């Protein structure tokens, strides 16, 4: 399985930002220049990027279609994007706007039958299933929803296997405890998921802080890694990550 580095931009009110563990009250702003940053990713050698609409993730209704189209057109990057995807028409609209792959998050937990239908309709290469997880005291990986304020009845392992059996090819899994913390990715989690889901490209997300972390995610079988805060703060270069 090939390995993909995804430099990431999270957008809120037009600005490039990062949240701490998904908390909108703990935001760091890095500028209002997402398109130049995307072009710089391409110039550095990236083939893909990850684009998140944080406004839509909370309120629904994806707002970045013009930016998405501009990035795809100007940079030539394959854009994986999501935020606020609730309905089938949301997926279709993003694909029409230039997305190479649409990230489906909360609705993947709340309405798996619906999302499995989308996998069948649009094709498994056009969707990334995003399952954000938090580990319970008993070791199980739970799936918080509604802004990580409630917990679904189903566990990460059970739901991920269900999607794999339905044809899922791309799984983005964020360890919520490490999101934005620069504490290193949860390699044990990604080793587990890669073994549990053969043939699925698991994207490591949350805590990546160095090229060594990227290399370790690749070594345990991940299909990719999301690079956010560490890139924005210059803790590693995109070229270093791409060389892993």
What the block records as the tokens of 131 is 């399952």
Strand partners, 15: 12
Half-sphere exposure of 109 (CA within 13 A, CB side): 23
Residue with tokens 């999607």: 163
Q: Is 33 a catalytic residue?
A: no
**61 Rama class: left (phi>0) / alpha (psi -120 to 50) / beta:** left
Classify residue 200 by its DSSP letter. -
* Strands 201-205 vs 78-82: parallel, antiparallel or unpaired: unpaired
85, 91, 92, 93: CA torsion to nearest 10: 40
Exactly one of 53, 55, 90, 132 is catalytic; which is it? 132
Please name which of 231, 132, 229, 238 lies closest in space to residue 181, comparing C-alpha atoms: 229
Nearest to 50 by CA among 75, 77, 27: 77
Among this protein's residues, is 10 annotated catalytic? yes
Rounded CA-CA distance 62/59 in Å is 9
What pairs with residue 133 in β-bridges? 175
Instruction: State how far the Cα of 19 lies from the Cα of 9, in Å rounded to an integer.
Output: 11
**Which residues are annotated as catalytic?**
10, 132
């Amino acid at each position: 399985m090939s390995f993909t580095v995804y430099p990431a931009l999270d957008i809120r009110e037009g600005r490039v930002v990062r949240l701490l563990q998904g908390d909108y009250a703990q935001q760091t702003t890095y500028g209002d220049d997402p398109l130049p940053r995307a072009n710089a990713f391409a110039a550095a050698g990236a083939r893909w990027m990850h684009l998140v609409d944080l406004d839509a993730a909370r309120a629904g209704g994806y707002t970045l279609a013009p930016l998405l189209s501009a990035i795809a057109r100007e940079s030539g990057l394959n854009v994986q994007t999501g935020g606020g995807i609730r309905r089938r028409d949301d997926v279709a609209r993003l694909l029409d706007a230039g997305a190479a792959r649409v990230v489906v998050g909360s609705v993947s937990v709340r309405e798996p039958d619906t999302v499995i239908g989308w996998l069948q309709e649009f094709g498994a290469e056009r969707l990334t299933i995003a399952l954000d997880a938090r580990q319970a005291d008993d070791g199980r990986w739970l799936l918080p929803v509604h802004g990580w304020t409630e917990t679904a009845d189903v566990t990460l392992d059970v739901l991920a296997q269900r999607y794999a059996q339905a044809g899922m090819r791309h799984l983005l899994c964020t360890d919520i405890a490490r999101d934005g913390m620069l504490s290193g990715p949860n390699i044990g989690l990604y080793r587990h998921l890669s073994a549990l889901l053969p043939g699925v490209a698991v994207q490591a997300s949350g805590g990546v802080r160095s090229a060594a972390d990227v290399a370790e995610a690749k070594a345990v079988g991940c299909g990719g890694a999301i690079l956010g805060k560490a890139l924005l703060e210059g803790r590693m270069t995109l070229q270093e990550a791409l060389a892993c």
